Every structure is written in C-alpha cells, then in structure tokens.
Structure 1
C-alpha cells in the first residue's frame, strides 16, 4: 500500500495533504524518514509514525450472531482439524472471535466480534446477563427437583445462583425444559441437570439478554442490529433477580 493511502485510511489527512506531510519529512517508516511519495509499505509489518507517533488503520468493528449447529468447535482453529464456527462464516473478511463459548455438542446462539473491549466486558464474571436454553433431558423432573434447580445447586467447588426452569413438553421417557441462568461456567447447564438426576440429551441456547435467534436457521448468521449492539455496550452491570 502506498504510504499516503495508508495515512489517509488512518485518518491523518486526505491523500493530497498526506503527500505534503511526507514532503515535510514528518513521516517515518521503521524509524526511517521517508521523502518519496510513491513509497510502499506493508501495513501488517511496518511501523509508521507521523510526528513521531505510531499510526494505525482502525479495523471496522463487526458484530455477528450465529446459530451454531452441534459438532462445531467454538474456536478460531482446532488442533485435531475438527470443524470450527469460523467455517460457517465464509463471507466475513475480518478476523472475528467468539464471545464466550458453546460446547461441541451444544447448538444455538453464539456471538462473534473483533471488538476486544466488548469481548472482555461480556466475558468478565461481573457481567450478568440472562441466557436462555432449551434442554431435552432424560425423564421428567419432579417439583422438588425443579425447586432445587431454581434455588441453586452445589456443583464441584461452587454453588450456582438462582435460576429459572420450566417444563415445556414431556412424555414417558424425556422432557423439554426451558432454563434461564446468568452465569457462564463450563458446561454449567449440563452439570445442573445431571445434579438433579436428569441428564441432558440435547441442549440449545436460544437467547442472550434481549438477543434471540428469531427465525435464524441453524448454520446461518446475521449482523447485530443497532438496538442489540446498544444493549451489549451498556456499561452498567445487569441486576437480574431470577
């Protein structure tokens, strides 16, 4: 990329004005003053300075909602060459990363972005947002088991916060539960269902705060709306009493 084009993309000035800045010997590439207007740089490797300050091209922020199928790893790559969620985003040119994770055998709502600040905020333990799951489980939980689930369960080295759980459908051998939690520990929903002796057969996340799949087909994705993005960027901690 020509140096003046890079400067313009970095918001320093128009290309014409950037050329004047170069001629005024105010631009350095890898600590060497550049006077040549046609000088080409590698944006990924070279360090460009204007008035001794490093400049960058700010990457366009992108926010993706994916309906993840099972048998996909929530990762950018996998050492065992399994399919990853990135394989479902062939048209996305920017390098994006999952916000949190969904297990290999769990489907549903997954957010991906290249906004590192937002990712940090959303995955920080202090950030509480309701996550809703549909869980097909073995057997039919009793009312006592449902109440134990709602009031918190002792799992490994922690006690889960209060949760919501309701039976949506049931038959002789299994039932479909709607479960709402606002934590995000590893395989938490599965462990909670196991704790009340009704192991998960299938699990799907259908909602994250105000964001839901809303007809998005499995394996497909869309960009977040302005309303959804504003919701995610709220700086205060959600105080959910469930």
Structure 2
C-alpha cells in the first residue's frame, strides 16, 4: 500500500495532506524518515509514525456533517491556538479531519471523516462537485458584472471556471446572492466579488451536491446516513 494512502486511512489527514507531511519529513517507516513520494509499505509488518506518534488504519469509518460557525479554523490543530472545527465535535473517539475547508469567517456545511479514499475523491478537481453558497455582498451587481461572474474571473493568475449566480434580494446598500461553484480555490468567492468591487460581507455554504444543512443548527453536527454516504461515494 502507498504510504500516503495508509496515512489517510489511519485518519491522520487527507491523502493530499499526507503527501505534505511526507515531504516535510514528519513521517517515519520503521524509524527511518521518509521524505519522497512513491514508498510502499506492508500494513501488517511496517511500523509507521507521524511526528513520532504511531498510527494505524481505522477500521471504523466515521462520516459527519458539521454546520461550521464563523470564527473557527478548518484544521485539526492551529498554531495560533484559535478554535478549530474539531473543538465542535464531541463523543467521537476516532481521529477525523475536515474534507476540504471553509474560511475562518465563512460558515456552513463541512464534511468530516476518517475515510481517506472518500476525502481524496471529494477534493479532487476532476470530480467537480457542486457547492452552493448564500452570500451578502456590498452594493448591487449590474447585468455585465453578473455575466462576468458566471463566465469566469481572473482572481490573480487563475481564471475561475463557469459558475452560477442568482440574485435573491437587493436593497440600497447590499445584495443577497446564491452562488454555485464546482471548484474550491482558497477564498475563491470572496476574491471573485472583490474583483467586481462588491466585497463579501457574509458567506455561508448551504449544500454540497444534494447534501444540505437546512435542518442542522449552527455549531451542531450529525452523522451522515448510509444513503448519504453511498451518494457521496458515487459522485
């Protein structure tokens, strides 16, 4: 088994993050530091540590939906001691981690699991899973700005893919807008509206694919149903 897959299956991190841990020299196999990709291990024989802590594959898979509040970082730990989304999850003994991320100031739907294969699938760009957001922005978008947003915007060396945009409500100073994207660059929606000179005031992810948080209060979490897990694995 590839080392990064083993790390992901252990619940320590996603496969992509596992590769970063390896490249940083934080992973050892049989007390030998590994810093290159492509290493295969025998899970029944080899001893693997991350930051000198032994890891093993988690047999019990956990799938959680969290309604993330603003003011939490989407990481397992934080070097600045800010609250993390892990602080909101109680009574779970298995090590879990976020699938993707939401910005510190963004609220809404966040999936968490210890299933490295599913995490890899859901975060890989080729799968293009739709993500639906409700945002409040400053000012009112004219038709030209709306079309520019939908067609793709250069946000600094990267042009976003086509997106969906629907203006839900406008008043003198602000607009409430529904946005659907199928990619997830860092602070992408905020950067897109910044380019249009309509800075984001609030941003909330309400759905990923067919999963939504309509009945889940902010700061609360629940296990996904078997049907929801099966749906995600078919995406």
Query: What is the TM-score normalised by the length of structure 2?
Result: 0.75
Q: Are residues 1:140 and 2:124 paired?
A: no
Matched residues in 2 for 1:222 and 1:58: separation?
20
How many Å separate the matches in 1 of 2:57 and 2:147?
53
Cα deviation digits, residues 176-198 of structure 1 (max 9, x gap): 10000000100001011111111
SS of equivalent to 1:147: helix
Is residue 187 of structure 2 the alignment partner of residue 187 of structure 1?
yes
Question: Equivalents in 2 of 1:57, 1:184: separation in Å?
Answer: 28
Q: CA deviation at 1:62?
A: 0.5
Partner residue, 2:205: 205
Q: Does 1:84 align with 2:84?
A: yes
Count matched residues.
184
Deviation at 1:204?
0.3
User: What residue is the counterpart of 2:218 in the other structure?
Assistant: 218
Residues 1-242 of structure 1 mapped to structure 2, 5 A cutoff: 58-234=58-234
Cα root mean square deviation, aligned = 1.7
Residue deviations 1:73-114, cap 9 Å, x none? 101011111100001002211110000000000000000000
SS at match of 1:190: helix
Cα distance in structure 2, aligned partners of 1:222 and 1:60: 16
Distance in 1, Cα, partners of 2:233 & 2:44: 31
User: Aligned partners of 2:80, 2:153: CA distance in 1, in Å?
Assistant: 34
Unpaired stretches in structure 2, ≥5 consecutive residues: 1-42, 46-55
| 1:159 partner SS | coil
Q: How big is the shift at 1:58? A: 4.7
User: How high is the TM-score relative to the length of structure 1?
Assistant: 0.73
Distance 2:127 2:218 in 1: 27
